[in-house]
Amino acid sequence: MTAIKWTEKYRPRRLKEVLGNGKAVSELEAWARSWERGIPEKRAVVLYGPAGVGKTSAALALAEEMGWDQIEMNASDSRTAAAISKVAGAAARMMTFSGKKRLVILDEADNLYGSADRGGSAAMLRLVKEADQPVVLIANDYYGLSKPLREGTLGIQFRRITKSTVLSALREICRAEGAACTPELVEEIADMANGDLRSGINDLQAALEGAREVGEVATAVRDAKASIFDGVAKILRGSSLGEAVQIAWSLDESPEDLVHWIDENLPLVYKPADLAAGYERLSRADVFLGRVRRRQNYGLWRYASFMMTGGVQAARTEKKGGYIPFRPPSYWRRMGQTKGARQVRESAAKKIGRHCHISSRMAKGEMMGLFALLLKDPDTGPKVAALLDFTVEEIALLLGTKPTTKKVSKLYDAARELLEEERVSEIEIAWGGTKKPEQTEKRERPRRADKTKSDAVGEGESGAGSEESDREDEKAEPVEEAEFGGPSDQGAEPMEPEKDDRQRSLFDF
Ligand SMILES: Nc1ncnc2c1ncn2[C@@H]1O[C@H](COP(=O)(O)OP(=O)(O)OP(=O)(O)O)[C@@H](O)[C@H]1O
């Protein structure tokens, strides 16, 4: 049974129903109103931003709101110059019979690649400059449009929908559907959606329909996450290369993760005669992934993706019928024994995302390799691990090894030590502290000196790093003065410029 898609059922019909992005929607409306006074300077707008945040919906609702007809085409379906100028050009120049304006919506406008499409891009430029009708271009990547195209249009940015808006939209749908959504389910799905309302609604529908079938909402979260299994099944069992490649893009998995899934499940699906060829393709994909990691050239990802999906599928000559229990990669299963691998990955990505001011999804997709390299470097490794406060599991994941290895614990300990130093120097700076003679002497070994101090500060032990004086009550007072810049009977000299400590800070790499 194929139910109506909720994304269509709940697509906003009017501008005020477009959630979030209020500023973008009013800019869009203002531009449309300017058409009522004649042809405006910018005949076309570009609605750009991440997928599933309401760009297309806003364009469609605009036509509805203004009482305009609309014609929608996908730039990547009909990529040629001829198609764009014929369909969009004619439509954009001609009034409709009713005399209504016609809004030309050109989706995936950033999807014209290569020389074959240069004509398409020129046609698009002509279209936005000469159209007698309003034109809306829709793009994910604003800078995927040529400069003249950007300059010839009005750019309107759509942003990810906030989690609270996604939450209330999902709750509203649950209510409208009379579905028993547990708060945990909605919360989990809103989290996974990461500002993409379309994927949130799709997950909710998949989860609730799955739950209805088994009559249990508790399994719904699991169902929502199951799409990777479907994806792997379609890649390995399907018979459309295009679909296999497409699926890889739609999955919320980076090629680095997907390759493990294919690797794990390939032998379950392929007959012995096809296995070698399948693995040969997969190893080619892995070579590309290696290059991506080494050169940080993410352009190569698309080839890796192609090899591990379409390439692997093309290596299959025989089909295997019957039920196949697909399974997650065993590497992750091993990781899962210590702590859910997904969770570790998510939390590492979250930390990286927060630090780089990007989404954790993007961090997962594009930055893990870079941070792995930084961690591997003996100089930057401890600083990065400290700065991002990575756990043992996160370090192990990024280094591609087990949390129990020496490499991991050494890096983790070095990071902890740096953090401790940082904490101590911050306390000293905050208190305008003084340095004791021993510390000045131990300059060449700042780490040990600071460590000793840190113990003293952290545990309230007596001063000057002296091992013998470990009885708090004996010298509590003088120590406090010596440590924190009060008058000292030990002849403490004023601390060296505090900058010194800051310069050695782990934030300086
Ligand atoms: N801001 C929003 N308000 C209400 N519904 C939304 C919003 N964003 C997305 N949706 C839901 O998600 C579906 C898909 O949204 P839409 O096609 O407008 O996204 P988009 O930003 O154009 O994505 P893409 O860039 O992939 O084309 C809509 O039909 C609607 O159900």
50 annotated among ligand-binding-site residues: yes
Give buried/exposed letters for 252-285 (b at 16+ CB in 10 A, else e): bbbbbbbbebbbbbbeebbeeebeebbbebbebb
Q: What angle do CA 247, 249, 250 make, to 5 degrees?
A: 65
Tally of residues, the chain: 509
The answer to whether residue 380 scores a pLDDT higher than 60 is yes
The residue range of the domain holding 287 is 255-328
Distance 349 CA to ligand 1 centre (A): 25
Claim to verify: residue 216 and residue 268 sit in the same structural domain: no
Q: What angle do CA 103, 107, 110 make, to 5 degrees?
A: 130
Claim to verify: residue 438 and residue 474 sit in the same structural domain: yes
Highest mean pLDDT range out of 90-104, 406-420, 488-502? 406-420
Per the structure, the count of domains in the chain is: 5
Q: Is the CB of 54 under 6 A from ligand 1?
A: yes
> 74 has which bridge partners?
107
Confidence (pLDDT) at 5: 82
446 annotated among ligand-binding-site residues: no
Tokens 């009034």 -> residue: 95
Q: What is the pLDDT of residues 239-271, one digit of tens each?
A: 888 888 888 877 777 788 888 889 989 999 998
Q: How far apart are CA 435 and CA 426, in angstroms?
A: 14
Q: Is the CB of 193 under 6 A from ligand 1?
A: no
Confidence (pLDDT) at 456: 35
Claim to verify: residue 146 and residue 275 sit in the same structural domain: no
One-letter amino acid for residue 501 of the chain: D
Claim to verify: residue 114 and residue 134 sit in the same structural domain: yes
Pocket test for ligand 1, best of 19, 197, 249 (most atoms within 8 A of CB): 197
Claim to verify: residue 178 and residue 259 sit in the same structural domain: no
Pick the residue with more confidence: 293 or 290? 290
The answer to whether residue 10 scores a pLDDT higher than 70 is yes
Cβ atoms within 10 Å of 375's Cβ, excluding its own: 24
Q: Is the CB of 19 under 6 A from ligand 1?
A: yes
182 annotated among ligand-binding-site residues: no
Confidence (pLDDT) at 156: 97
Residue 93's nearest CA partner among 47, 134, 56 is: 134
Stretch 288-308: mean pLDDT, rounded? 76
Claim to verify: residue 149 and residue 210 sit in the same structural domain: no
Closest ligand 1 atom to Cα of 8: 29
Q: Which of 122-131, 265-274, 379-388, 393-402 has the lowest mean pLDDT?
A: 122-131
Q: Is the CB of 165 under 6 A from ligand 1?
A: no
Confidence (pLDDT) at 295: 67
Confidence (pLDDT) at 212: 53
CATH of the domain at 216: 1.10.8
Contact 64, 149 (CB under 8 A): no
Confidence (pLDDT) at 382: 94
What's the DSSP call for residue 96?
P
Pick the residue with more confidence: 463 or 90? 90
Domain's final residue, options 404, 438, 455: 404
Residue 450's nearest CA partner among 480, 482, 424 is: 424
Q: Is the CB of 111 under 6 A from ligand 1?
A: no
Q: Which of 200-204, 253-257, 295-299 has the lowest mean pLDDT?
A: 295-299
CATH of the domain at 66: 3.40.50.300
Q: What is the pLDDT of residues 438-485, one digit of tens each?
A: 443 333 333 333 333 333 333 333 333 333 333 333 333 333 333 333
Claim to verify: residue 30 and residue 129 sit in the same structural domain: yes
Confidence (pLDDT) at 210: 57
Distance 20 CA to ligand 1 centre (A): 11
Q: Which of 145-154, 361-370, 399-408, 448-457 has the lowest mean pLDDT?
A: 448-457
Q: How far apart are CA 168 and CA 164, in angstroms?
A: 6
200 annotated among ligand-binding-site residues: no
Q: What is the pLDDT of residues 142-201, one digit of tens each?
A: 888 889 999 999 999 999 999 999 999 999 999 998 887 778 778 878 887 888 999 889
51 annotated among ligand-binding-site residues: yes
Q: What is the pLDDT of residues 103-130, one digit of tens each?
A: 988 888 887 644 455 566 777 888 888 8
Tokens 């398409």 -> residue: 120
Q: Is the CB of 57 under 6 A from ligand 1?
A: yes
Q: What is the pLDDT of residues 14-49, one digit of tens each?
A: 999 999 999 999 999 999 999 988 889 999 999 999
Q: Is the CB of 51 under 6 A from ligand 1?
A: yes
Q: What is the pLDDT of residues 319-351, one digit of tens each?
A: 888 888 888 777 555 444 444 667 788 889 999
Is residue 267 one of the residues assigned to a domain? yes
Q: Rg (Cα) of the chain, in Å, rounded?
A: 30
Pocket test for ligand 1, best of 189, 198, 201 (most atoms within 8 A of CB): 198
Residues ≥6 apart with Cβ < 8 Å to 436 = 463, 464, 465, 482, 490, 492
Pick the residue with more confidence: 159 or 272? 159
Q: How far apart are CA 73 and CA 205, in angstroms?
A: 27
Confidence (pLDDT) at 27: 96
Pocket test for ligand 1, best of 11, 111, 145, 203 (most atoms within 8 A of CB): 11
Domain's final residue, options 274, 306, 328: 328
Residue 92's nearest CA partner among 82, 105, 75 is: 105
- CA dist 505 → 263, 344, 352, 484 (Å): 43, 27, 19, 20
